[in-house]
Structure 1
């Protein structure tokens, strides 16, 4: 076991998410500029990529618990590179483009689950928060850089080039996987079928009180966040009276908050009890949306988005470290997959609810819906065994 995360793992994690975000940014640009498509086809292409995070996660989580995780990280990276390369070649054919984007994103899902399940074998328990912060910093920086890079390529008349860049980033992740130190073979018991294996992971989350509270808090927060995101631009351009440029700058503060949170997460883990760090994610989210409700404007929108990046990034690092600490090694992949499916499954529901409330009562009303989601998330942490935690507990079967 190494005293700090091998550099190859955070680099591979950043490359994976950079590939995913590049493809996510490139697909709408290809639809509009290369295919001349309207919102229907654009949404279908984005949905095809996003569907992988729901449909691939559970079987990939089973694989992460059954095979060499370093091989799965490399294999997932290769699958992602293949998918995004095929998407680049099929940019003029919408059906093939959608299928290839799904394959690419599916590779990212499998590799990302493998990376998170691999981390506890590479660092000692007390170093998990700092190691997870390095992973999340790479993810945040990749998210910040991807959209401008894809936009620049599109401005040069090459919108599909973003997919080629995504393929190269995924290939880089696959290569970096083999720079990780080899790990001793894990002794695996007789394996149940796919459905039984997934059910075992879900049961563990349901029965483990800390993980159950994390799941409830994450579901409520994501529902609130996507309700807000569904109306953020109409809210800014309409009731807030902002120009498009100002709106973009204000919403971009979310990425800056993510980066700041990832940079400060190790210090927060050292200085604060774990429970307080876990409270900070939903707590700062409530504070941000309250400011937006009480004093709507460009400054409070920017502050709200910054807090929605900063606090939940502290939460993300802390809850990931806690999840890794209390989950038996043989269940890490499936537990991560179950959490991911729960969170990604509620996101479209939150967006639909936000849009429906905005259409019925106006965009400002959807902000109250977001506030409700963040408040329920805070309540889930504050009333659970998470709040009194001072440090990472031992694994509990």
Structure 2
């Protein structure tokens, strides 16, 4: 097995474990521990908060340490935490379950930072898009399948079955990762300033590099819009599209199918179009999808809304794979963890604001106004791309020599 194939297989198991755990948490909390909606929300928030709280210091750790050591430590933490979550569920301890869910997510966050940093060490720059597409395809498949798998296990086997499965997948990823031995960096280790200065160095690089700044700003507006859409879609579907909860869930599920299609088609598309085409198509297709969503109560109803979700999955997945490849190309190896963490924190920091803005707008001005807010935010994301260096990227940038 080649080093990248081993990394790819490891990443697939990590994403499967993480998505199963994410889907299992509310099921376990409601069916086993009899938690109410507020408590379930707090548990899910604790699990997802790791992406916001841990990313920046983890990015420093990834840049300063042997990536294999950090990777193994991250996966070990996930295995232990998911095993603890399993025991907490059996013991009926909400507090330990919340802590274990958070720590398991910390392991996943750190692994993802290492994974993005390892790809440039394992494949040639020309292969970055293909490699990232394969990894994102595994993530999209896991995210789409996990709720169905957890629901099936809860119905046919036990509501407690999700976390043991997640722990087993995490253990499998750790076993695979032990055989991963990436080549040593050819760059002498830079000086190590205090952690806060190291974090600031990564943020400054993002702000000063025009391509990275455009990627970050585009991602911020896109994520604001997408989470606002998720926050309002179910009531929008019930009240404006005349469907039920199952219909709303089916329409949202098309988003996952769009993501899978985008990741699967990425290598074929990238071989035939310029990078700028993909980097513009992603946010523009989202804007078109949002406009279809705005029009869906009057034209087409639920099928048009489902088509909109498909566009919002397909185009942005292509964009995600391409921007990750561009980011890996222009970022020096000693900064890749902090650069990735900076963009990640910006994305996860804007998501709660998007959810609150969507919900508040719907409450005060109505669901149609809230959907217009979603369309406007997607449109701003597209305008950022059109007005930025991303629109002039006719070929992949020259790779950073700091490898």
TM-score range, shorter chain: over 0.9
**CA displacement at 1:158 relative to structure 2:** 2.1
Q: Structure 1 stretch 9-18 or stretch 185-194: which is displaced more?
A: 185-194
**Distance (Å, rounded) in 2 between the aligned partners of 1:17 and 1:341:** 19
Aligned residues of 1:31 and 1:42 also touching (Cα < 8 A): yes
Structure 1 gap segments, 5+ residues each: none
Whether 1:317 aligns to 2:321 is yes
Alignment of 1:162-311 (within 5 A): 162-185=162-185, 186-296=187-297, 297-311=301-315
**CA displacement at 1:317 relative to structure 2:** 0.3
Aligned residues of 1:70 and 1:118 also touching (Cα < 8 A): no
**CA displacement at 1:74 relative to structure 2:** 2.0
What TM-score, normalized to structure 2?
Answer: 0.95
**Distance (Å, rounded) in 1 between the aligned partners of 2:157 and 2:264:** 36
- Structure 2 counterpart of 1:24: 22
**CA displacement at 1:13 relative to structure 2:** 1.3
- Structure 2 counterpart of 1:152: 152
**Distance (Å, rounded) in 2 between the aligned partners of 1:238 and 1:179:** 53
Aligned residues of 2:8 and 2:135 also touching (Cα < 8 A): yes
**Distance (Å, rounded) in 1 between the aligned partners of 2:331 and 2:155:** 47
Deviations 1:94-114 (A, max 9, x none): 111101110000001001110
**CA displacement at 1:249 relative to structure 2:** 1.5
Aligned residues: 395
**Distance (Å, rounded) in 2 between the aligned partners of 1:309 and 1:178:** 34
- Structure 2 counterpart of 1:7: 5
Structure 2 gap segments, 5+ residues each: none
Deviations 1:319-352 (A, max 9, x none): 0000000000110011001110000110011001
Q: Structure 1 stretch 222-231 or stretch 76-85: which is displaced more?
A: 76-85
**Distance (Å, rounded) in 1 between the aligned partners of 2:48 and 2:100:** 12
DSSP 3-state at the match of 2:325: helix
**Distance (Å, rounded) in 2 between the aligned partners of 1:217 and 1:372:** 13
**Distance (Å, rounded) in 2 between the aligned partners of 1:312 and 1:72:** 30
Aligned residues of 1:74 and 1:175 also touching (Cα < 8 A): no
Q: Structure 1 stretch 177-186 or stretch 125-134: which is displaced more?
A: 177-186
**CA displacement at 1:361 relative to structure 2:** 1.7
Aligned residues of 1:5 and 1:131 also touching (Cα < 8 A): no
**Distance (Å, rounded) in 2 between the aligned partners of 1:173 and 1:238:** 44
DSSP 3-state at the match of 1:36: coil
**CA displacement at 1:292 relative to structure 2:** 1.8
Aligned residues of 2:190 and 2:334 also touching (Cα < 8 A): no
Aligned residues of 2:118 and 2:182 also touching (Cα < 8 A): no
- Structure 2 counterpart of 1:67: 65
Deviations 1:243-266 (A, max 9, x none): 232222211100100000001111
Aligned residues of 1:74 and 1:173 also touching (Cα < 8 A): no
- Structure 2 counterpart of 1:55: 53
Aligned residues of 1:84 and 1:167 also touching (Cα < 8 A): yes
What TM-score, normalized to structure 1?
Answer: 0.96
- Structure 2 counterpart of 1:327: 331
Aligned residues of 2:14 and 2:170 also touching (Cα < 8 A): yes
Q: Of 70, 75, 78, which residue of structure 1 is paired with 2:76?
A: 78
**Distance (Å, rounded) in 1 between the aligned partners of 2:250 and 2:391:** 34
- Structure 1 counterpart of 2:342: 338
**Distance (Å, rounded) in 2 between the aligned partners of 1:15 and 1:236:** 34
Aligned residues of 1:217 and 1:377 also touching (Cα < 8 A): yes
- Structure 1 counterpart of 2:353: 349
Give structure 1 regions of 4+ aligned residues with deviation exceeding 4 angstroms.
none
DSSP 3-state at the match of 1:7: helix
**Distance (Å, rounded) in 2 between the aligned partners of 1:241 and 1:317:** 36
Aligned residues of 1:326 and 1:395 also touching (Cα < 8 A): yes
**Distance (Å, rounded) in 1 between the aligned partners of 2:283 and 2:182:** 38
Q: Evaluate the alpha carbon distance shift between residue 78 and residue 184 of structure 1 in structure 2; reply closer, same or farther with a 3 A threshold.
A: same
Q: Structure 1 stretch 380-389 or stretch 171-180: which is displaced more?
A: 171-180
- Structure 2 counterpart of 1:88: 86
DSSP 3-state at the match of 2:49: helix
DSSP 3-state at the match of 2:193: coil
